[in-house]
Amino acid sequence: MRTPLIAGNWKMNKTASEAARFARELIQSPLSAAVIDIVIAPPFTALAAVRDALGQASSIELGAQNLHWETHGAFTGEISAPMLKDLGCRYVILGHSERRAQFGERDDLIRKKLLAALTHGLNPILCVGESLHERESGITAEVIERQLKGCLAGFEPAQLAPLTIAYEPVWAIGTGKAATPDQAVDVHQLIRHTLETGWSASVAAATRILYGGSMTPQNVEGFLAFPDIDGALIGGACLQVDSFATIVRLAQKRIGH
């Protein structure tokens, strides 16, 4: 059985002191004993502060929002996988639509970042998703398949064991307009089929696939009710402790049944 994962992508929000305060409050929130994976991904500047605030005993894992594919060198403003590992990160978000749209990241470049993450023992959360124009044009499946095959080209099935995929329809990110659970399930099934035909049935069965895009405490249960949806990559709703903790509790409630 795939362990549900709830990840919070803070994007460019919270100073180091604000982030540390959030982490301290989060670990004091009442959560159930049901085992799910919980990840928070602060900005680079807050990673150390959040790590220290969480402490070694916390089950909440630290994630990063991006990395460079090289280990070191003349890459001003970039962060490498070994740097993230040294800070205590276990996860890294790659291929987010904002990185694709605002910074020109393409599948071949994201593939290089995935390789760096996997080489250095980080668990990548690979984001895929279609724009509103692509959905309305009826090419959602084509877009998702192209992104998966481009980002994962050349990887052997065994290499993909640490991989998580997040389906984030671009038209639902930060807009308050989430996909319906049925729409999300259709794409999750497509992703799993693509993994099966392109890599292996075992990869398809084991890979966690998250939904992201205007998910809130009010709609999360509708998504998590479907076995094809293994958790959530949360944006705006993860920036408040009560909101994020509620989503975590609802996910724990699902696994507790």
Q: 66: which 2 tokens? A: 């991006």
Q: Which of 54, 59, 61, 111 is nearest to 84 (CA)?
A: 61
Identity of residue 93: I
Q: Has 136 been annotated as catalytic?
A: no
Length of the chain: 257
Question: Per the residue annotation, which of 96, 98, 105, 130 is the catalytic one?
Answer: 96
Count CB atoms within 10 A of the CB of residue 71.
Answer: 12
Which of the residues 130, 145, 168, 188 is marked catalytic?
168
Residue 96 is a catalytic residue: yes
Q: b vs e for 171-182, b when ≥16 Cβ sit within 10 Å of the residue's Cβ?
A: bbbeeeebbebe
* 8 A C-beta contact, residue 64 and residue 41: yes
Smallest CA-to-CA distance from 44 within 75, 7, 13 is with 13
Give the closest residue to 210 by CA, choosing from 251, 160, 242.
Answer: 251
Take residue 126 and report the two structure tokens written for it: 């690979």
Which residues are part of the catalytic machinery? 96, 168
